Each structure stands twice: as structure tokens, then as C-alpha cells.
Chain A
Amino acid sequence: MSRVRAFLWIAAGIAALGLLTQPVSVQAQLSLSVTLIAAMALVWMFARGKLARQLFISLASFNVIRYIYWRSCYTLPPTSDPVGLTLGLILFAAEIYCVIILIISLIIGADPVKRKPQKRWPDDELPVVDVFVPTYNEDEYILATTVAAARSMDYPKNKLHVWLLDDGGTDQKCNDKDPVKAESARHRRASLEALCKEMGAIYQTRVRNEHAKAGNMNNALAHAKGDLVLVFDADHAPFRSFLQETVGYFLEDPKLFLVQTPHVFLNPDPIEKNLRTFDHMPSENEMFYSITQRGLDKWDASFFCGSAALLRRSALAEAGGFSGVTITEDCETAFELHARGWHSVFVDKPLIAGLQPETFASFVGQRVRWCQGMLQILMLKNPLFKKGLKPIQKLGYLSSMTFWFFPFPRLVFMLAPLSYILFNVKIFVSNVDEAIAYTLTYMIVNMMVQNYLFGSVRWPWVSELYEYCQGVFLANAIVSVVMNPRKPTFNVTAKGLTLDNDHLSELAWPFFTMYGLLLAGSLMAAYRYVFEPGIDNLMLIVGLWNSFNLVMAGVGLGAVSERKQLDRHPRLKIDRAATLDVKGERVPCRIENVSAGGCALRFEGDMPAALLEGEETNTRLIVKPMGDMAGDASLPLRFRRVPPGVGGLYGCSFETMNPHEYFVLADLMYGDSDALPKFLASRRKHKSIWVGTGQFLMWGFVEPVRAIAYLFKHKAKAAQSELAAPPPEASTVWLHRLAAQGAEPATASSTEVTASPSMEPPKKPKRAAAKPKTTAPRKRAATKRKSA
């Protein structure tokens, strides 16, 4: 039966290919593409269900096949024009790459899995879980929060062990040649050891910092004895229900090695921050988790993303622990285990909340590592030739790896129109009729597909924007890793950059260069359009294409113009009842949102009089715990008597917390598993092509102005202080703390909550994780030339 189905499918495919590679007339093509677009619109509007989705894709693919057929057979420049041919082939290759990625993503995303919630298993059947929290240089309060949240997970306490794996306090670090660094490491080690002791976690460090994160976790594997290993990055705090939602899969399938859950971030990435989209636009990674990983899950090919995942220890043991050949040990590990016949599961339910890089520079640094790591796997352990993988798994891994070549086509599309505008090189042979019948309809179809499939998790043009923003830097990284796959350049992201004022990212100059180039291109196109009117159509089309690139580059300028960060600590929207204890007077209130540094609350009755006495009042917030928390569930709170915000909200900050008070904070923040899905759902509204494009154009006009304003401000400031202070080194935060302690011995480790500008803000010190963004079909424009 399955053979019959496969045969039917192949037969239908071959028939379609046969029909679509007929060299029919341009008029017939135009009729076809207009009909296809109309049919797609009808399916979109009136049909629901998986068959309708398949029909939509099928109709769209017909148009794409027609375009590619035409493009490859009729539009390449003649050999008599070698320059045009070369550039034309580059553009063609870029388009082909995009189409291949589109096809692969359609295959992988053919039928994304939607899983039912796990049933609740009896406690005695549950396996023992070791929670690994590897850390390198994160702040103590972050670690305390994560450990507290991990310890608070809804699971038999005797089967849950939390390990803090400290690579910042290894013997090697403690004996650093630099006495300041050595002292800092020793201090960190002692402090964290004490913290773990108090919080009931296990502190684990090692002799040497070998093999980075993988080495760190492998070291812990030698000590841990549990059945399952749960990995959290230091800043990834789990919600209470994490294990309840995930462990059951291991009981169902003895050959299961991985349950991965999505990463959700409470703070914006720099692009979201600088374009102010965090609160209403889905994050960049949501497409990867909610579409690609679910798609891969269907084929048993979802993979490990470094954190927020459960792994079977016996499987890891069989493979010799976490793999460490490449700098993306997570994907590599999953890859090896898949090849050994182990299975993986992806649970599309947000169960952790994390932090991500805040500056554009650290964002790019992170992406460079992901990109290089994935390409390392591609080059060193090519999935195509990996024994043991099923073909579809190979395809899945290949797509996740080849995806990272996106910088090249993106840059090609950005620069291609200039070849005609500036140098008169014709790289695309077509007349206007054909351009409309093939290229224009193809672009429309592409937009429709992208919006239909991903519209709820990705606004129009945002994929392109992210690609462009990373493209400039990743292109470099790709070249270096391809040249020498065994020695990827491991850039340590500069940290400690202040975000207390608006400024340009230090990586901004390529974007200004690109903007200038494209602006020149657009002006030149307009100029030539006027002065060489014989080329109306062609120059108009190429000029429009270039102008759209200019808009893109303009938005890119906005993305690298760093806005100052007002909120030090990202907030999570919750709705919890609590009581405020003001000098013995207890007042009921509701907490609307909470962060590591504070919360916003609303009084259910009148504001107690005691709070009116001073500007700031120290109180305690008594939380009604959701989990089984022992003892006093209260937090020290500093209440500021400032005019309340919308809905009578008062912003309060937490005072310095004792280790056990972190459990209260964890319960408050991570107790309600629905908080996160609600937050994500609030952003996942379908963005139509029109509105999205309008928004994008708006940015394109506004953001360059802001960038240029920053540029002049920057210039003015640079003139004032010739020598800017060098950025603090990555691992010197503990040194700062030492200094702070020296200055204020009474209030040790109290500075985080007040967020003094002199202090290291909470950072996302990702080290090496592989989160390939999902593979969105990309639009491309094309130059038209009037018949030769």
C-alpha cells in the first residue's frame, strides 16, 4: 500500500514536471501564473486543513518550477559577454540556492508534528534526572535564579539533582598567571560553592578548561549517576512543569535519546530592541522552533539545541559523551546519536525562559559561532555520507547546515542591481513581458508562500533583514571556516558594553558603506533614467529593485543603531496574588509582571498609608507559592512612591536576596507554565503582506535618519573624549564585585538589583549553541533587460 502511495506521488510529480517544462508561450505562462495566484488566494481564504495546505504549496511550487525552468533555459547572458555571463551565473546560483532551500524546507515541513500534552506518570516510575547548568562567567544572581528554578521543578525531589558546572572556577582559572584574574576566579569558586550548598545544588568544577562546554558537561557525566541529563544554559530558567511535560517520552520509547523544547527569551535581541518590535513581533527563533523543529520531528530528525533539553545518559555514554569536535557540540551530539539509531522528540511547548545578547556585536558573535559550527559539521562529518542516518534525516541535517550559506545569496541580491546601474553589465536576459509573466508572479508567489506558511511567526521581509544584518559578517566567517574547517576562529564576544545611551554599534560601518553604495546606485539609476531615456523599462525595474535594497539597508542601519536599554531585567507578564507586608501591615495585591530585578504590582484595595511616608519604602512581598515550597515565601521589596503607571501599576525593585529567597522568585516567575505561552501568543498575530511591507518601508525611511543622528552624536562625543575607555574584559565581572565589596563591605552582592551603570548588566553569555534559523523562502528581485 505504501508503495502504491509512493508510486502515485512520484507519478503525479513526474506528470507535473513534464507539463511544467513545456516551453509554452509567454501568454500561456501569464495565464497560468495569474490563475495559480488566484487559486492560491482562494485556498488561503476558504480552505482549511492539511489537504488545503498541501494544495497551496503544490500550486505555488508549480509557479516556482516554471520560473526556474525559464530562468535556467532562457535568461542567462550569452557567452559573448563573459563579464555579464559570470555575474549572471552568480545571480543564478544565488537564486537556485534559495529555491533548493525552499524545496528542502517544504519537504521537511511537509507535515509538522503537533504533540498532545504528556500524561502524568506515577512518581515511582519516573527516572532520576541530573540537571546540568554549565556556567563560565555568568553573574551569581542569574545562576541562583536558574538553580532555584531547576530545583523547584515539579518532580520527586529525591530523583532530581541540580549540578552547577562552573568553568569559571577551574583549577586552571584559579591559578591564572594574571594574579587579578586568579583572585577573581578563586572568589567566584568560593562564592558559588557556598551558594550551591545553601540551595541544595551540587557545585562541580574541573582541572582544566578543555573542550569548552562539551568538556565541562562530559566531566560532570563522569560524576552523575541519573538516568537522564537535563541541560540548561546558565540563563535558561525552567518552568515548574518542565519535567512533567518531557520525561514521559523517555518512558514510552527506550531508544529515545533527546527531548528538546524551544528556547524562549524574555529580552529582545538587538534588532528587536533597536526596531522596538519585541512586544508585538514574534522573535526570530520562533520560526525555527515552532515550524522547522516540528517539521523535523515528523522525520525523527529534531536535534539538540544546547539547552532546555533532556538526554538519555546511556545514549550519551554509548557515544562517549557530548561530542566536541566542532564548536556546536549540541547539534553534533544529536547527529552522532541519530546515526546510531537513537530517536529524538521535539516538544513545542515553551518551558524555559532565557536571555539573549543585547548588543549587535555580541549578537553577531553568537551567530558567527553557530554558523561556523554548523559548517564545521558539514565539512568534517558530511551528513550525506554519514552511515546510519535515514535519507530524510540526512536531508534535515543538510538543510540546517547549508542554510548557513545564506549570506552569499543575500549579498548577491543586494549588490546585483548595481552591476547594471553602475557598470551597465546585463546579467539577466529577459524582455518586459517575460519579466512580468515569470519573475513578477514568482516574487508574488514567494511572498504568498512565506506569508501563508510563516505569517504568524514571521513578519514580511524580516527574514531578509536578519539575513542582511548577519550577512556581512557571516560571509567572512564562512570563508574562514571553509578554508580551515578544523580551526574555526572562536571570537570571544566583547562584553560590558554600556547600553545606557543611544549609540552606534561598533559594527555599524559596513552598513553605512552598503547604504551609501545603494543610495548612490539609486541616484545613479534615477539619473540614468532621466538622461538615458531609451532604457526606460529596464532602468526603472532595476532601479526599483535597488531602491528596495536601499530600504532594506536603511532598516539595517536602524538595527545597528543601539537604543539605550531602559529595562535592565526582562519582565515576564504573570498574574499572581500576593500580599505586601509594609511594616507589619498586610495589604493584598496582584503582581502583573516580574523580572529578576523587580516586579510591578497593583493594590487590590487602597494603598497603605505607611507607603506614603517616604519616597522609597522597604517592604516584603509575600507570595502564594504554586509549588511545594517550604518556609517563608517572601521577598524583600523596595517600593517607590512614584505616580503609578497604566492600571495603577507600581514598579518595585527587589532588594538583595538571600539564596533561599531565590526560590520564591523562581516560584513567582517560573511557577505558572501558562505565562510564557500567553506571552508568545500575544505576539503571534498574522501579519499580512501589505501591513508588513508598509511597516518595513516605514522603517526604511525613518531608521536611516536615526542612524545618522546617532552618527553625529557619536562624532561629537568622540571629539570630546579622544580616548574611549577600553571595554571591560569578559571574565572580570567578579573583579568588579570584589571592588564593590571593598567599597561597600556591608552590602555584598547587592548591586545587581539596583542596576548601577557601573556594573555589568545581565548578559547572555552564550558559548556555543546551534540554533539554525529556519529556512524561509526568500524573495528575490531580478533585473530585466529588454530583449538582450
Chain B
Amino acid sequence: MMSLGRASFHLCVGAFCVAAILAIGAPLRAQTIFMTAPPSVAKVQIKGPSSSAPSSQVAPRGNSSPAAKTPIAVSTGLRTEGPLAPGAVLRHLTNNIQGYRLAGEIGASEWPIYLTLAQARRKLQFQLGYLAAVSVMPEASTLTLMLNDEVVGVTQISAFTSVKTVVFDIPTGLMRAGFNSVRISTDQRHRVDCSVEATFELWTQIDPTQTGLILDEADAGIDNLADLGALLPDEQGALPIRAVLPQNAQPATVVRMLRAVQMISIMGRFEQPVVDAGPLLPGRYGVNLLVGPANQLIGQVGFDNLGVVDRPRAVVLPATPERRTTIIITGTTLAQVDEAMNLFLVATTPKGAPAGLRAAAAFPGYRLEGGQRIKMHDLGLVSEEFSGRLFRTGFNIIMPPDFYPADYGRATLRVGGGYASGLSSRAQLVVNVNERTAVSLSLLKTSGEVFKDNPLPLPLGFFRPGLNRVEIEAHVPTKGDDNCDPLSAIDAPNRFLFLDQTEIELPAIARVARIPDLAVTATGGFPYAGSAVRPKLFLPSFDEKSIGAALTVAAHLAIAAGRPIDFDIAAKPPGKGQGPTLAVAPFDAFDSGLLQKLAMPIADLREAWKDRIGAPPRTHAEEILSQTQAAARNRLVLQNNFPMACHAGLHLGTKHSALNRARFANIDYSAVASLLRNATNPNDLKQALAAQPTRDLFGEWDAKMRNETSWSHIVVSWFVRMREWGVAKFTDAGSWMSKSFDSTDGDSRLLTPDSLLAVGQNVVGDGVEDVWTVVTAPNADDLADAVGCLVDPRVSRQIAGRLSVLDVARARMNITPVDDPHFVATQPLSVGNVRLIAAGWLSLHALAYVLGAVTLAILLAAATRLFVRNIGRRAD
């Protein structure tokens, strides 16, 4: 314990370590053992900065009029052609809540990306594939790549009909072993329309299949447990884990497998592992996982690979053409296998570039507990000057799962920034929390303003447990936008300033878990994580698909909880008091009496799924799409910013695009930009880049404001506003009217034709021990497909209520809310917390609050009367 405690691991991982030790209950070994080759054995080719033109770089070709294509000074849109050198591997970005889309005039997204030492030492390139909306004006739109807070390249946005890929050279030494930050941002302007509304048409979609670090195949893989973070996610950003189970696997084997899956996900910081069960798989992405005594496994991976097993061992086998990277957890006996799990506990501090560590901490969201404040800088946002109409920036925070959301308090966003003079009266600052407008502030000074601390209250009821997205929008139209000259967007004056000193302050929050409430479970693993009684994973159907789905769901809960959950697998329904139960199985595997107890809408589900229930298992799972089909599908997905896993297999038939995995090798490069090419000396570039960031934006704007506040200026802008106001009054009234009539709240039906999965929760007994969560789909294939969709962050964050039904075609959860949840304490009882919980409950039950108050008023009146009548002089 002490030796672990000394290691300054990330907090939640540290907690996990302790929990894992307690949960597993095995003695900790002082010595960690890796059955991998020492680093020196790995084929590492260290290329110094002087090494010119690595194999993957292609000679420039100046024949396609670069001058015409590069109106933007920074951009160096040199075209290159020809395939990437064989043996290169794309290290994809992991999936996040924004889903690879950069929308609006300005957008940015940051990812942490983990590199091994070998990878970091290489000369690296970054490939960016994207598709943009046709409205984007190429002359005024750019895509910028920043790595570890340094601009690596800027390119003009020019891909409107098909995905375009751009390759950026990364200056040597910029990437470090461990976590690095990848920040992709866009600056886009509309071709023809200057209105604020039109900016919503602007988007650039990063094609995850075409985006990532280009790694040499030789060092693309990992060879030891310390580098789990460098496992390659697939092109959708998920980490595929193939659970290689023996024939007729026993529940105990699955339990071990589950624990290993959880370990890999947590230690490697994968947010979206997708597990399937089956034999060893080939391919570059993902990992094969084998758990069991050596004598059973040798048959599966071969004697050579495993070596002599005489003690607990965790082995990483690098990928080969026949086999993914494979992790083997083994020992001579089952006990040794269990002990080998501890080998994952590599207690090292997370390493990497400072920006990378920051990005890792803020990915997929920054964890806030209440009573904290955090600056935007630490969330990966940067100070920016903006010349368009709609400034947008956002960040993700993760609220604790037992956060009780209601309007009993408000988070304060203290915005630092400014706006220029000459804005129209509609200029405003809007803060959206989870796509709902929480607060807006008119930017009303005609003279413009700069501020360092403009507090905007965000009611806590807008937040929810788990991932929350907060977006800051500045609508800064000018009167000139009405007479639209799109070309003026090029080199337009700045209208808005955003400072990364902006901070969000979260007040003390009410913390209590609710049962049943799927949101609490999905965001924190409650009540499975930390349960006093060992939680049960009930698998009535023990087929591979169902097991894979169950492992995926369980791993997801463990990730949400930040520590492994020690599930016990049950083939029979556990009785009362046996521990909270998670059940994952096809619909017909469940006893309908059980489902009834869980208050699942059995009849409705059966009706909706009648064609699918009991469908025979698919024999050949992966039907190859033609290249055209694959491209069409890909474009559709990108244009709609749709979670790929959800879409696949439905709208385009049951064909899985195995082609996607092969496409990378024969991609047709249409554009490669390289910043380094332009700079004759790489050091010049570095200096240029280094000179950029240290500007005092606040000071500059402040000085500018002072200069601009002349009387004539104010009078003119007032006059302009007055004229505009008259017009605006009418249109505002009109839009307000139409808005109030147009109150369609989308399709709120619970079950739709595309419903493929239902998650239900209920208490069948008296307490936390008797909570059941059921994940079910019409059949095992659908279950596996749908669970893959379910764990996409964009989907999983929607899980809530008593019943959540997944509509795969829309990647949307339809919710049945909980009427009257039980509260379960998760924190030591404190007056402050109880008060906040009460306030939250009363806010949600205003009637009870009002009646309580009136009752108390009557009581108080009577008590006062009684008291007063008998003291002092009697009046009459």
C-alpha cells in the first residue's frame, strides 16, 4: 500500500489501485513482472532532426498552381501525390462527445494521444482527413492542427464533395512519450450569407478513419503493459477487444476475462472499449485478450509466444500479420492467473507533454466534484480573437454520478473577453449547457467592452451526472452583415475576444444516488461499483455475442466508476439480497416474470421486436462493401456527424465495412500540406511559433477600447442602432410568436421502429442490493451491435431514467423518467449535503415545498398566537 501511495498517480487511477487490491484480495507483489522483450530489442529507428525526407514524406510537386490555392499566408498547401509508404499505420484519435465535428465559424477539439517512447522518437506525421459543408468559403476558411500547444500546420478548407486528407509533418522533439495533445481547430466563413443563422450551416467533419498519427508499422504496436495507452483504437475511435474464450467457457473464466477487460480499459484510459468474444483476430487495431492457465492457452497462441510459464504472468505479444496485439494473462494455476491481474497495476505517474497531460485530464471531460473552480486554459481552451459572427467554444466536464441535478444552486462562468464597437443590438453572449441555453447576456455597449470577470450564472438543473458539454457562444453580428459581402470576411477586423482566463466555478453540489436511475449507473457504475455485496452479472444466454455485449457493458460501468467492478457471473437469477444485478441477454432469454418485476414494457417490446426476436444468428458477419458503397456510407456518416457504430448494419443492410480496415493502404492522397516544407530551416519555424502565444490580448483590447470611445463614434453607433432597432422589434416579435407556436419537442415516443436495445432498471427488493439493471435486445446479434452503439460517448451520456431505449438510426435514447426514486447515501452524512439534497428534492417537487411551507406557516401562526397570548398584558 505504502509503495503504491507514494506514486503520484492520477487521483482516480490511484483510487482504482486501492480498490482493485481490495477487490481482488490478492497479496501485492513488490515486483512487477513483464514478459516482454526489453526496449532495446524493439526495432526502433531513431531519426534525428537532420534526417531529411523520411520514407513517408513525398517530394513536393509544384505543378498545381500553389499560389492560387493558398490565399492564406500561413497555409502551405503543397500537393503531393502517391501512396503512403507501405508499412505505415494510422494511430486514430479516440472518440469524444463532439463526435469529430467542428461546427460553426470557429470550432476546436482536443484529444490526448498516447505514444510509446519508440513512437515519440520517430519523425512523425499527422494525417487529417476531413469533409466540409458546401457553404464553407475556402478563401476564408482554415483548418489548424496544434500539437502540444504548438501550431503544426494550417490548411485551407477545400473538401466539399469527398473526404480530403492532409498530412502535416511534425517537428522533431515536439511529441513526447506518454500523453500528447492533439488540437484541431477550424476557422470558417460562409460563402454567401453573413447572417448569424447561416453560421450553423458551417461544419467541418474530421473523418476519423482518415485521421491520426502516421506511425511506422515497426513501432506501431506495444510490447509491454506500461504502454497500454498506445494500443491502437479503431477508425471509429473505439478500442476493439477480442475476448478469446475457450470452448464451453465457464462463468469463472468470463469473470477473469471481465476483470482483464476492465483493467486494460482503465489503465489504458480507453473510454470506449468494445468487446466481442471469439477466436484470435488479425488486424492492426485493438487487442486480443486471453486469460487462463497456461496449459489451456498454449494451444491457442503457440508455445513459442508464451514461453515458460511457471508463475503469474501478463504478456504482451506485439501484433503480427496473423494476429492483433495480444495480451495474455496466465499462470500455472487459476490462482496464479488471478494473481497475474495485479501485474496491470503499473504504478507510475502518467507521463507525457504538459499539454498532453492536461488534455488527458480533460478528456473526455474534466472531473469536477463541486466547490471547485477551473480555468478554461486547463480545459484546453485558448485565448482567441474572432472576426466572424458566431464565436463558439466549449468544454466538457464530468459531474460525479451521485450529483443530484436540480436548480438549488448555480455554477458561475466568469467570462473574460471583450467585444468591439459597432455590433448590432442582437449581439449577445449565450452559454449552452448540454444543448440547452442556460443564460444569455446582451453585449449592449455601443462602444464595445473588455472584461476580465463577467459572471454568468448557470443553474445546476442544466447539468447532469457524468459528461456535460458547456458551450460559450458569442453572437456578434454587425450592421454591415446585412449588406453581405462574403469576401470581406477575409482579413475582417476582430469582433470578439475570448480569454482562456475564463473560469467556471461550481458551487457545493448535492450528492446522493438515486435508485432506480440509469443515469447514476451509467455515469458512475452505481450501485455496482463499491457495493457491499458482490454484484452479479446475470447471463441467461451464454453465447459469444451475449458475452461480448455483457463484457462491453460491464467494462463501460467500470470506466464510469473509474475502478474495476468485481462482478460475479450468475447463470440463474440471483435472489433477494444477493447483490445488485446486471443482466445482459437477448429478450427471449429472460423470464417474462422477471421482466415484469423490473417494470419493463414487455408487451410493447415484444410487439416492436416481433420480427427480430429469435432470428437465427448471422453466419457470416462481415459482408464486404464495394468501394463506392463504403465511400457513400462514409460520407453519409460524416455529413450527419453520426456515431458510426450505431449506423452500421442497419441503413445499409447488414454489411459490415471490413473494407474500412483495408482502405488505408490504398488511399488516394489528394492533398498533403506540410509546414516544414515552407521553412527552409526548421528552427525558424520553431521561433516563429514560439513568438506567437505570449500576447497580452486583454491589454491590447483594453487600449483599443479607450481609443475608440470618442463621442462622434458613440453618436454614430447609437444612430445606427436606433434604426436597426425599429426593424428588429417587428422581426423579434414575429419570431417569438412563431417560436411559441412551434413547440414540437421532437419525437418523444419511447419505442420506434429502429429501437434496438432497451436498458431498464428497478428495485425488486428493499435496498441497493436488490437493484436490477437489464440490457436487452431482440437477439444476440442485435444485442452485440446495439451495445457497440450504446457505448459511444454521444449515446451513452443520454442514458437516464428508469428505462432507456436506443434508437440506433438516430443514435438517440428515448427515456422513461423515474417518478419517485429512492435516495441512497453515497457520502458521509453532512448538514450541508443533506440541505442541498433537500433543496434539490423540493425544487423538483415544488408542490410539496409549497404545501410544506403553508403548513409550517399555519403552525407558526398558531404557535405564535399561543405564545403571545400568554405573555405580556392580555388584550381584553
- Interface pair B722/A297, CB less than 8 Å apart: no
**CB-contact partner of B439 in A15, A297, A787, under 8 A:** A787
- Interface pair B861/A28, CB less than 8 Å apart: no
Q: Distance in Å from the Cβ of B33 to the closest Cβ of chain A? A: 54
Query: How many angstroms from the CA of A787 to the CA of B444 in the assembled complex?
Result: 13
22 contacts between A and B (CB under 8 A): A9-B864, A13-B860, A19-B849, A22-B835, A22-B842, A24-B408, A25-B459, A28-B850, A32-B853, A35-B854, A36-B857, A39-B854, A58-B857, A58-B864, A62-B856, A392-B872, A431-B439, A530-B725, A531-B725, A532-B718, A534-B443, A787-B456
**CB-contact partner of B856 in A19, A297, A531, under 8 A:** A19
Q: Distance in Å from the Cβ of B230 to the closest Cβ of chain A? A: 45
Chain B residues with CB under 8 A of A112: 875
Query: CB-CB contacts of A1-41 with B at 8 A, as 1s and 0s?
Result: 11001101101110110011011111110011001100100
Chain A residues with CB under 8 A of B63: none
Chain A residues with CB under 8 A of B104: none
Chain B residues with CB under 8 A of A20: 853
Query: CB-CB contacts of A105-122 with B at 8 A, as 1s and 0s?
Result: 000001111101000000
**CB-contact partner of A111 in B722, B839, B847, B875, under 8 A:** B875
- Interface pair A80/B453, CB less than 8 Å apart: yes
- Interface pair B847/A31, CB less than 8 Å apart: yes
Chain B residues with CB under 8 A of A533: 425, 721, 725, 728-729
Q: Distance in Å from the Cβ of A478 to the closest Cβ of chain B? A: 31
Q: Distance in Å from the Cβ of B542 to the closest Cβ of chain A? A: 48
**A786 interfacial contact with B, CB 8 Å:** yes
State the 4 A-B residue pairs at the shortest beta-carbon distance, nearest first.
A25-B407, A534-B444, A25-B843, A55-B861
**CB-contact partner of B453 in A19, A78, A114, under 8 A:** A78
Q: Can you add 6 more A-B contacts, CB < 8 Å, to A24-B843, A58-B857? A: A5-B866, A12-B863, A55-B861, A300-B872, A531-B718, A533-B425
- Interface pair B444/A532, CB less than 8 Å apart: yes
The residue in chain B whose Cβ has the minimal distance to the Cβ of A27 is B846
**B819 interfacial contact with A, CB 8 Å:** no
**B446 interfacial contact with A, CB 8 Å:** yes
Chain A residues with CB under 8 A of B453: 78, 80
**B661 interfacial contact with A, CB 8 Å:** no
Given contacts A59-B854, A59-B857, contact A786 B408 (CB under 8 A): no
Query: How many angstroms from the CA of A535 to the CA of B426 in the assembled complex?
Result: 10
**CB-contact partner of A110 in B444, B455, B729, B868, under 8 A:** B868
Query: CB-CB contacts of B420-442 with A at 8 A, as 1s and 0s?
Result: 00000111100000000001111
Q: Distance in Å from the Cβ of A370 to the closest Cβ of chain B? A: 26
Chain B residues with CB under 8 A of A6: 867
The residue in chain A whose Cβ has the minimal distance to the Cβ of B858 is A55
**A54 interfacial contact with B, CB 8 Å:** yes
- Interface pair A51/B865, CB less than 8 Å apart: yes
Given contacts A15-B856, A28-B843, contact A58 B455 (CB under 8 A): no
- Interface pair A31/B846, CB less than 8 Å apart: yes
**A788 interfacial contact with B, CB 8 Å:** yes
Chain A residues with CB under 8 A of B459: 25-26
- Interface pair A111/B869, CB less than 8 Å apart: yes
Scoring A9, A57, A114 by chain B CB atoms within 10 A of each residue's CB, the highest score goes to: A9
Given contacts A12-B859, A111-B875, contact A22 B865 (CB under 8 A): no
**B665 interfacial contact with A, CB 8 Å:** no
Q: Distance in Å from the Cβ of A122 to the closest Cβ of chain B? A: 26
Chain A residues with CB under 8 A of B870: 1-2, 5
Query: How many angstroms from the CA of A648 to the CA of B856 in the assembled complex?
Result: 61
Scoring A8, A24, A35 by chain B CB atoms within 10 A of each residue's CB, the highest score goes to: A24
**CB-contact partner of B876 in A24, A26, A116, under 8 A:** A116
| Contact surface of B with A, Cβ cutoff 8 Å | 406-409, 425-428, 439-444, 446, 452-457, 459, 461, 718, 721-722, 725, 728-729, 835-836, 838-839, 842-844, 846-847, 849-850, 852-854, 856-873, 875-876
**A299 interfacial contact with B, CB 8 Å:** yes
- Interface pair B875/A55, CB less than 8 Å apart: no
- Interface pair B425/A534, CB less than 8 Å apart: yes
The residue in chain B whose Cβ has the minimal distance to the Cβ of A1 is B870
- Interface pair A787/B857, CB less than 8 Å apart: no
Query: How many angstroms from the CA of A787 to the CA of B454 in the assembled complex?
Result: 10
**A683 interfacial contact with B, CB 8 Å:** no
- Interface pair B875/A298, CB less than 8 Å apart: yes
Query: How many angstroms from the CA of A710 to the CA of B241 in the assembled complex?
Result: 94
**CB-contact partner of A27 in B439, B452, B722, B843, under 8 A:** B843
**CB-contact partner of A787 in B409, B441, B866, under 8 A:** B441
- Interface pair B446/A113, CB less than 8 Å apart: no
Chain B residues with CB under 8 A of A299: 872-873
- Interface pair A12/B722, CB less than 8 Å apart: no
| Contact surface of A with B, Cβ cutoff 8 Å | 1-2, 5-6, 8-9, 11-13, 15-16, 19-20, 22-28, 31-32, 35-36, 39, 50-51, 54-55, 57-59, 62, 78, 80, 110-114, 116, 297-300, 392, 429, 431, 530-535, 786-788
A-side interface mostly: helix
In the complex, the number of residue pairs spanning A and B with C-beta atoms less than 8 Å apart equals 177
Given contacts A36-B854, A54-B864, contact A787 B849 (CB under 8 A): no
Given contacts A54-B864, A531-B718, contact A27 B407 (CB under 8 A): yes
- Interface pair A532/B853, CB less than 8 Å apart: no
Query: How many angstroms from the CA of A531 to the CA of B446 in the assembled complex?
Result: 10
- Interface pair A788/B875, CB less than 8 Å apart: no
Query: How many angstroms from the CA of A299 to the CA of B872 in the assembled complex?
Result: 5
Chain B residues with CB under 8 A of A62: 853, 856-857
Query: How many angstroms from the CA of A531 to the CA of B427 in the assembled complex?
Result: 15
**CB-contact partner of B721 in A27, A50, A300, A531, under 8 A:** A531
Query: How many angstroms from the CA of A473 to the CA of B873 in the assembled complex?
Result: 38
Chain A residues with CB under 8 A of B859: 12, 15
- Interface pair A8/B867, CB less than 8 Å apart: yes
The residue in chain A whose Cβ has the minimal distance to the Cβ of B440 is A787
The residue in chain A whose Cβ has the minimal distance to the Cβ of B444 is A534
- Interface pair A25/B408, CB less than 8 Å apart: yes
Chain B residues with CB under 8 A of A116: 876
Q: Distance in Å from the Cβ of A114 to the closest Cβ of chain B? A: 5
Chain A residues with CB under 8 A of B452: 80
Q: Distance in Å from the Cβ of B852 to the closest Cβ of chain A? A: 6
Chain A residues with CB under 8 A of B871: 2
**CB-contact partner of B444 in A13, A111, A535, under 8 A:** A535
Chain B residues with CB under 8 A of A392: 872
- Interface pair B442/A19, CB less than 8 Å apart: no
- Interface pair A788/B856, CB less than 8 Å apart: no
Chain A residues with CB under 8 A of B838: 22
Q: Distance in Å from the Cβ of A62 to the closest Cβ of chain B? A: 5
- Interface pair B862/A298, CB less than 8 Å apart: no
Chain B residues with CB under 8 A of A110: 864, 868
Chain B residues with CB under 8 A of A11: 863
Query: How many angstroms from the CA of A429 to the CA of B412 in the assembled complex?
Result: 13
- Interface pair A534/B442, CB less than 8 Å apart: yes
- Interface pair B457/A787, CB less than 8 Å apart: yes
Query: How many angstroms from the CA of A51 to the CA of B456 in the assembled complex?
Result: 45
Given contacts A25-B406, A28-B843, contact A114 B876 (CB under 8 A): yes
Q: Distance in Å from the Cβ of A546 to the closest Cβ of chain B? A: 18
The residue in chain A whose Cβ has the minimal distance to the Cβ of B725 is A533
The residue in chain B whose Cβ has the minimal distance to the Cβ of A22 is B839
Chain A residues with CB under 8 A of B836: 23
- Interface pair B461/A25, CB less than 8 Å apart: yes
Scoring B461, B729, B860, B876 by chain A CB atoms within 10 A of each residue's CB, the highest score goes to: B860
Q: Distance in Å from the Cβ of B128 to the closest Cβ of chain A? A: 39
Chain A residues with CB under 8 A of B455: 78, 429, 788
The residue in chain A whose Cβ has the minimal distance to the Cβ of B845 is A28
Query: How many angstroms from the CA of A12 to the CA of B456 in the assembled complex?
Result: 37
- Interface pair A51/B408, CB less than 8 Å apart: no
Chain A residues with CB under 8 A of B857: 16, 36, 39, 55, 58-59, 62
Given contacts A24-B843, A787-B439, contact A5 B854 (CB under 8 A): no
Query: How many angstroms from the CA of A25 to the CA of B875 in the assembled complex?
Result: 42
Q: Distance in Å from the Cβ of A295 to the closest Cβ of chain B? A: 10
Scoring B427, B729, B865 by chain A CB atoms within 10 A of each residue's CB, the highest score goes to: B865
